[in-house]
């Protein structure tokens, strides 16, 4: 089995490269420290081996760095720019030397799009750098390719789980159609609204989808809402066991589900009560009309 290619292993060669020499505004110590920090972050992701970094991961990496360090002030923005400049140089180095499955031209296109979308032009924006919100114009451009890719592998997760012996141990009441609906909805909303993939979901994305999108867009019963957390938690355990998702990530997702559940159930109950009141009003109105006939 080939050794995993960790990002920090490229430091000696990178420091002598044209891409590194272009970082003349930064000291070697700063560059090395930044690469080691990025390496530590990526080592804990699903793509700790840089030779497997694809377009989706590159976008996710840059966005996660912005999310992590954005405090809305000039100091944090300067830190983000420093990290981004180093990431950019490293990606160009890897692409030029064919160390990643993305061409130099494609890397340039991706980074140019990101710079435009999230303001990585070296100038601190007048308004606070905002975290991604619904329909935020600062998010990366929606991609059909990425949407299709994540839908494909999330479907694979569900199908494999349903066909496995673990499926027999699922929470009572969880059906194939229900799990498929919930996972598909979570995957679609997370990417469409937050540009997050099943390998990069955040607490914000997951909890807000549970508490808003699931309430407004899915036709579920009260019992169904009670099944969402156990159904998805069991799925994430299975996916982690198969090695498709890191155990640490699966555990984080389960914590996010638990954190979002109380408000989701509260919102769902209020929605059902409102619907009940509306139905009662309609019934009374119909009764009055019938009485007047």
Q: How many domains does the chain have?
A: 2
Give a yes or no: residue 241 inside a domain. yes
What is the structure's pLDDT at 290? Answer: 53
pLDDT for the residue 26? 86
- For residue 131, being part of any structural domain is answered with no
Q: So what's the pLDDT on residue 256?
A: 95
Number of other residues whose CB lies within 10 A of the CB of residue 224 = 19
Same domain as 164, residue 263: yes
The answer to whether residues 167 and 56 belong to one domain is no
Q: What is the pLDDT of residue 134?
A: 42
The domain boundary residue, chosen from 118, 136, 154: 118
CA distances from 159 to 52, 60, 155, 170, 238 (A): 24, 25, 6, 14, 11
- Domain check: are 111 and 151 in the same one? no
Q: Per-block average pLDDT, block size 10, for the chain (293 residues)? A: 77 94 89 90 73 86 76 72 90 94 90 75 42 57 86 94 96 94 94 91 94 89 94 97 93 95 92 64 44 51
Contact 249, 257 (CB under 8 A): no
CA–CA separation, 35 and 31 (whole Å): 6
- If asked whether residues 284 and 167 sit together in one domain, one would say yes
Q: What is the pLDDT of residue 281?
A: 37
DSSP state letter for 209 = I
Q: What is the pLDDT of residue 271?
A: 83
Judge if 285 and 149 occupy the same domain: yes
pLDDT at 206: 96
Which of 98, 120, 113, 179 is closest to 146 using CA atoms?
Answer: 113
Is 32 among the domain residues? yes
Interior/surface letters 194-209, b for 16+ CB within 10 angstroms, e for the rest = bbbbbbbbbebbbbbb
| CA distances in angstroms from 245 to 2, 66, 183, 240, listed in the order given | 20, 23, 15, 5
* pLDDT for position 283: 44
CA-angle at 141, arms to 135 and 144, nearest 5°: 105
Residue 128 domain flag: no
> What CATH number is associated with residue 224?
1.10.490
- Show the DSSP H helices in 9-103 as ranges: 11-15, 18-21, 28-43, 55-69, 74-96
Identify the pLDDT of residue 292.
Answer: 52
Boundary residue ending a domain (83, 118, 153): 118
- Is residue 132 situated within a structural domain? no
Task: Let me know whether 108 and 148 are in one domain.
Answer: no
Q: For residues 43 and 49, what is the distance between their CA atoms, to the nearest angstrom?
A: 7
Range of the domain at 108: 7-118
Residues 186 and 249 in one domain: yes
Co-location of 89 and 185 in the same domain: no
pLDDT, position 277:
55
Compute CA distances 162 → 126, 180, 181, whole Å: 50, 10, 13
Same domain, 109 and 160: no
Residue 138 lies in a domain: no
Q: Evaluate whether residue 283 is within a structural domain.
A: yes
- The answer on 102 and 42 residing in a single domain is yes
State which of 84, 118, 152 marks the end of a domain: 118
Backbone φ/ψ region at 61: left (φ over 0), alpha (ψ -120 to 50), beta: alpha
How far apart, in whole angstroms, are the C-alpha atoms of residue 241 and residue 269?
34
Following DSSP, what letter does each residue of 97-127 receive, concatenated? TT-SSS-HHHHHHHHHHHHHHHT-SSS--SS
Q: What integer pLDDT is reported at residue 62 of this predicted model?
A: 84
User: Do residue 99 and residue 216 come from a single domain?
Assistant: no
Would you say residue 134 lies in a domain?
no
């Amino acid at each position: 089995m080939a050794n995993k290619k960790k990002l920090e292993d490229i430091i000696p060669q990178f420091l002598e490269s044209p891409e590194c020499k272009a970082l003349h505004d930064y000291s070697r110590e700063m560059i090395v420290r930044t690469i080691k920090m990025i390496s530590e972050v990526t080592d804990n992701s699903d793509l700790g081996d840089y030779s497997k970094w694809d377009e989706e991961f590159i976008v996710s990496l840059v966005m996660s760095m912005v999310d992590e360090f954005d405090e809305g002030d000039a100091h944090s923005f300067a830190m983000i720019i420093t990290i981004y400049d180093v990431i950019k140089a490293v990606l160009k180095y890897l692409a030029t030397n064919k160390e990643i499955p993305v061409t130099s031209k494609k890397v340039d296109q991706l980074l140019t799009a990101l710079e435009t979308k999230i303001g990585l032009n070296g100038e601190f924006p007048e308004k606070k750098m905002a975290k991604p919100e619904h329909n935020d114009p600062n998010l990366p451009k929606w991609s059909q390719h990425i949407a299709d890719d994540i839908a494909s592998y999330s479907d694979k997760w569900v199908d494999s789980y349903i066909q496995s012996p673990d499926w027999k141990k699922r929470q009572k009441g969880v059906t194939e159609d229900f799990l498929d609906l919930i996972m598909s909805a979570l995957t679609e909303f997370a990417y469409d609204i937050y540009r997050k993939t099943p390998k990069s979901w955040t607490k914000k994305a997951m909890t807000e989808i549970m508490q808003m999108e699931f309430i407004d867009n899915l036709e579920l019963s009260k019992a169904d809402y009670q099944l969402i957390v156990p159904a998805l938690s069991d799925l994430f355990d299975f996916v982690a066991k198969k090695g498709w998702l890191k155990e640490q990530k699966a555990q984080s997702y389960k914590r996010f589900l638990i954190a979002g559940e109380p408000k989701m159930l509260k919102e769902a109950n209020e929605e059902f009560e409102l619907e009940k009141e509306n139905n009662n009003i309609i019934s009374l109105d119909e009764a009055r009309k019938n009485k007047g006939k």
